[in-house]
Structure 1
Amino acid sequence: MTHSALYLNPSEAARRLGVSAKTLRLYEQRGLLMPLRTSAGWRTYGPTEISRAKEILALRGLGLSLMAVERVLHGDVKCLEQVLAQQQAALEQGIGDTVAAVERIRLLRQSIAAGHIPSLCELAGLSKPVRDACLSLELPWPWDGERFELLDIRPITYIVGPLGSGKTRLAREIAAALPNAVFLGLDRLAEDGSPAHTRLDGDPGLKANVESALTWLVEEGGSPSEALTALLAWTEANEPACLVVDMVEQELDRATQEALISYLRLRCSPHRPLFLMTRSSSILDLEAVGSNEAILFCPANHGVPTVVQPYPGAPGYESLSTCLATPEVRARSHGVIAFRPTA
């Protein structure tokens, strides 16, 4: 291997690490990763920089904020206790799920030995992973009863579309169709978020979870606000089993939006999927969409919503990308809603 092959430009380094070049730039801005410079001034990443980037990504994978990552890289490991406890709890939950599945199989085998023929539902329930949960429903106006199916519910699903495309109605239908799901509308912001404070005051455990999440988000560069607390009062709760959020970015600035989606990506679980309505490119960065995420696009012509892949050239990608804008641009249309005639 030549000497030059050991040094990668930002795009090559990002591809090697499985992240976006934007992520590497963020790490640089926070002082966590300092690329070398060529004689022409271009950024380049050698073996040492790639190794440091892998360390950062490993710590991020544990759920550490960027500020906490910085502390660990400087030798302060006290902040690892909480995230390791969370990892342990998640693994123990997984063990519990596996033990329960083994017990169901054992009981089915006993039942078969006794002459009972199991139903197809019983058998399908053994082999079908949670992630493969599916959704099938008839869409109301403006789709007039067309069938909508989502065969693979990811931990995070974005719902995107232009004004008047029916995305809010779709979100409500999804929440109504999925078991133990809740639609979290913009009324969460009513009365300066007082419903959220009432919810937190009645649940000390949830309040502690929200305070911990706020600390993480502030360390990540976000700003505390009533709008953010109103969101966390639901995302940090043990229930519901599925949360569908109307305009997740509402009243959050750019830095907070970016911190929030980083947090949700780290915390997302197939056991508690999130559906996030958005038109913000800070929430839905098409370059950063991972394998645990999906995008539902509602076309302007009221065609059936479709899953769009997050890369140029994919069917629907161009229409999808035109629906997304920066928080600054989105703020100009704050409060604008589409006219909805009576069905």
Structure 2
Amino acid sequence: MNPTLRSLTPAQASVTLGVSAKALRLYEEHGLLVPDRTRTGWRVYDVAAMTRASEIVALRSLGLSLAQVARVLDGKPHDLDASLAAHEARLSEQRQRTAEALERLRTLRVDLAEGRVPEPTTIARAVVQSLPVTVGFTLPWPWDGEWFALHHVPRLAFITGPLGSGKTRFAQSLASALPDAVFLGLDRLSDPTHSQRLADDPTLAEQVERRLTWLIEEGAERSDGLIRLVVALEAATSTILVIDMVEEGLSAATQTALMAHLRLRGTSKRALILMTRSSAILDLDALEPTETVILCPANHSMPLRVVPYPGGQGYEAVVTCVASPKVRARTAGVVAIRPGIG
């Protein structure tokens, strides 16, 4: 940390640290960070506060919950070993992918030196470690056959739209079109098999319990809805999971903890596409540059990729679609259907 650093505003501190201003307030609420205050009461971050914040950000990047971060900062490192081991595994995986990419490039150069011209597809696969997933498909009713294409599927994406916008059918069609994707519908909330799955698979049960412990330390509330969702997240073998109304059955605190968990997942984890109308799930202020928001408009015009800042394409429409968990609870279980269709 630069010893000559002046006190920074929350906006400046968040940019410097690479986290949101909301994250800094969350650290403060949990007693991990104590910024200074100006005479008028505004938060400012001096060298000591920025050093402390950078330590918190580094520990969070290892996948530690806020409670685990607090214990490590208090000199109790027993939570560190598993997180460091997981981080080591991620780095080893990245090193392996880089080594494989280097070998592909060397092979191309040998081929060129010997007069063999590689195919364009071979070149493309050699210069990137993994090609982005692209998908195109015919949209179902209410769009009736229009073509939709998504040229890059990120690790974390969101689908939103008002009631009756067709977003569930869109999500199902997207899951069907994507390679090795599974659609997880609202029937998960009444699925009676999750207990038996845990009883039959001790490894899965251990993974689920470990993830639940992390979430509860982060502020989540243990519930059947959360357990069923975590079972699905841990048990799914698909590379992409599309989840219908992920907030259903989850309290506000649980939704916040869940999103913290999903953003801290390892790079090797599957891609997730979350359908939601909750501002705790789709927090526009917390969106990362690599994340994508798809809006299904109220007037059944084509679904569009939202530009996530004020004035951007679809931004204001998304603002009107998402609401706090308290407001969302008023319409819990409401499903929009086409008249005459069962």
Partner Cα separation in structure 1 for residue 17 and residue 95 of structure 2: 30
Amino acid at match of 2:79: C
Show the counterpart of 1:97: 97
> Which aligned pairs between 1:288-307 and structure 2 lie closer than 5 A?
288-307=286-305
Question: Is the 8 Å Cα contact of residues 172 and 183 (structure 1) preserved in structure 2?
Answer: yes
Corresponding residue SS for 1:144 = coil
Contact 1:62 1:84 in 2 (8 A): yes
Q: 1:54: Cα distance to partner? A: 0.9
Shift of 1:25: 1.4
Q: Which moved more, 1:76-85 or 1:39-48?
A: 39-48
Pairing 1:176-191 to 2, within 5 Å after superposition:
176-190=176-190
Q: Which deviates further from its counterpart, 154-163 or 40-49? A: 40-49
Offset at residue 334 of structure 1 (A)? 0.8
Match of 2:16 in 1: 16
Question: Hey, what does 1:318 align to over in structure 2?
Answer: 316
Aligned to 1:60: 60
Is the contact between residue 261 and residue 283 of structure 1 (CA under 8 Å) also seen in structure 2?
yes
Corresponding residue for 2:46?
46
C-alpha separation between the residues in 1 aligned to 2:129 and 2:277? 30
Three-state SS of the structure 1 residue aligned to 2:245 is: coil
Q: Which residue of 1 aligns with 2:127?
A: 127
TM-score where L is the length of structure 1? 0.91
1:60 counterpart letter in structure 2: R
* Contact persistence 1:157–1:275 (CA under 8 A): yes
Task: Determine the C-alpha separation between the residues in 2 that align with 1:274 and 1:241.
Answer: 9
Q: Tell me, what secondary structure is at the counterpart of 1:267?
A: coil
* CA distance in 2 between partners of 1:108 and 1:236 (Å): 39
* Shift, 1:98, TM fit: 3.5
- Structure 2 gaps, min length 5: none
Partner of 1:6: helix, strand, or coil? coil
How far residue 108 of structure 1 moved from its aligned partner, in angstroms, is 6.4
* 1:153 is aligned to 2:139: no
Q: Could you tell me which residue of structure 2 aligns to residue 339 of structure 1?
A: 337
Q: State how far apart, in whole Å, the 2-side matches of 1:340 and 1:276 are.
A: 23
CA shift at 1:277, angstroms? 0.4
Written as runs of structure 1 = structure 2, the 5 A alignment for 1:217-296 is 217-237=215-235, 239-267=237-265, 269=267, 272-296=270-294
> Which residue identity is paired with 2:73?
L
**Alignment match, 2:197:** 199
Greater mean deviation of Cα atoms: 146-155 or 128-137: 128-137
- CA deviations on 1:293-328 (whole Å, 9 max, x unpaired) are 111111111111111122111111000111010101
**Structure 1: runs of 5 or more not aligned:** none
The 1:116/1:197 distance shift into structure 2, 3 A limit, reads farther
CA distance in structure 1 between the partners assigned to 2:129 and 2:304 by the alignment: 22
Looking at structure 2, the residues matched to 310 and 299 of structure 1 have their Cα atoms a distance apart, in angstroms, of 15
Q: Equivalent residue for 1:69?
A: 69
What is the letter of the counterpart of residue 161 of structure 1? G
